């Protein structure tokens, strides 16, 4: 999926998530723990926006298909990908 720009408030959350998780997989619960001052709707919106715009991927958990595991795209890959989109 091509990476697209996201609103500033989403990018701020992405930055915090990148500092915490880097290239490691993580769960909703871990994101919720990181943003403990945010409500569930805000956390879902952050994850959704990042996923829709190509900054985050989601896979179903192997052991529990009701849960997902997330992984962030590297910032430099996202920037390069956005640049390529403009070339098309």
pLDDT tens by residue, 21-33? 999 999 999 999 9
List the domain boundaries for the chain.
Answer: 8-87
Structure confidence at residue 37 (pLDDT) = 94
Q: Cα separation of 44 and 65, whole Å?
A: 18
Q: Does residue 1 have a pLDDT over 80? A: no
Q: Which CATH number, 3.40.50.1100, 1.10.760.10, 1.10.10.10, 2.30.110.10, labels domain 8-87? A: 1.10.10.10
The model's confidence at residue 72, banded by pLDDT at 50, 70 and 90, is very high
The model's confidence at residue 86, banded by pLDDT at 50, 70 and 90, is low
Name the least confident of 19-23, 48-52, 58-62, 63-67: 63-67
From the list 55, 46, 50, the residue with the least C-alpha distance to 76 is 55
Structure confidence at residue 30 (pLDDT) = 97
């Amino acid at each position: 999926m091509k990476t697209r720009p996201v609103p500033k408030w989403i990018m701020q959350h992405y930055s915090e998530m990148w500092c915490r998780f880097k290239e490691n997989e993580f769960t909703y619960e871990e994101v919720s723990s990181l943003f403990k001052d945010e409500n569930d709707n805000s956390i879902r919106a952050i994850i959704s926006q990042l996923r829709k715009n190509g900054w985050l991927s989601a896979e179903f958990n192997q052991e529990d298909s009701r849960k997902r595991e997330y992984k962030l795209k590297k910032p430099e890959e996202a920037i390069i990908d956005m640049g390529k989109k403009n070339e098309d």
